[in-house]
Amino acid sequence: MRRLTLAALLAVVTALIAPSGAQAVDVAVTAQVLSGSRSITTATVGPLASLGRTATATSAVAVTVTEALVNGDNAWSVTARLCGAAACGSLTDRIVLNGDNTTQLAGSAFSLKDVAVTDTSAALGGGTITPMADADLSTTRTLFSNAGQAPTSIYSGVYAATGTLSLTPPANAAPGSYSGYLVVTLVE
């Protein structure tokens, strides 16, 4: 009986430590791949000084576009447009006298000049940057453009544009305080 008990015990121990068939266990794996971004992160215009008719006042303009792990775009740009109201509407390419939308300073009295763009992270950015030539604001202007990024590559860069906004009101401009917006738009 002792042999039988010992044999039974040995059979149980052998069954516990003997290799059995392979087992698979499913373990969940999740990952989120982000699309990256390209956006205008800052846009500023300094105040224009008070001035007499036909005199010129200037102000600094600065616009920064930041890319973060975004697919290349063969042609993206930043445009600038003068508007007499926040949503532009029918008051495009001009600013208006405060309290009187019918009295206006045309965009042709304004100009953007000396635009320069610096890729402050040149090792990570890409493409060819082209700043605008000096021009008035009688229509939407391309402040700067970037061309030549490969759509299959990933880019991270910071593009800082600076320039000068100038105003020379015409001799027949109505005196008063005018306001409006310089609307900058990232076009992809």
Per residue in 112-165, pLDDT (tens digit) is: 999 999 987 665 667 889 999 999 999 999 999 999 888 888 888 899 999 999
The SS3 of residue 113 is: strand
**Res 188: pLDDT:** 92
pLDDT at 166: 96
Give the mean pLDDT of 75-86: 94
* pTM score: 0.81
**Nearest of 130, 140, 113 to residue 56 by alpha carbon:** 113
- Taking only the tens place, the pLDDT of each residue in 18-70 is 556 778 888 888 887 777 899 999 999 999 989 888 899 999 999 999 998 88
Contact criterion met (CB below 8 Å) for 183 and 88: yes
Burial class (CB in 10 A: 0-12, 13-18, 19+), 4: exposed
Read off the amino acid at residue 180. G
- pLDDT reported for residue 118: 92
The per-residue pLDDT for 18 is: 53
Domain ranges of the chain: 42-187
Position 170 pLDDT exceeds 90: yes
pLDDT, position 39: 94
Least confident of 2-16, 32-46, 86-100, 131-145: 2-16
> What SS3 string covers 89-105?
CCCECEEEECCEEEEEE
Region 156-177: mean pLDDT is 94
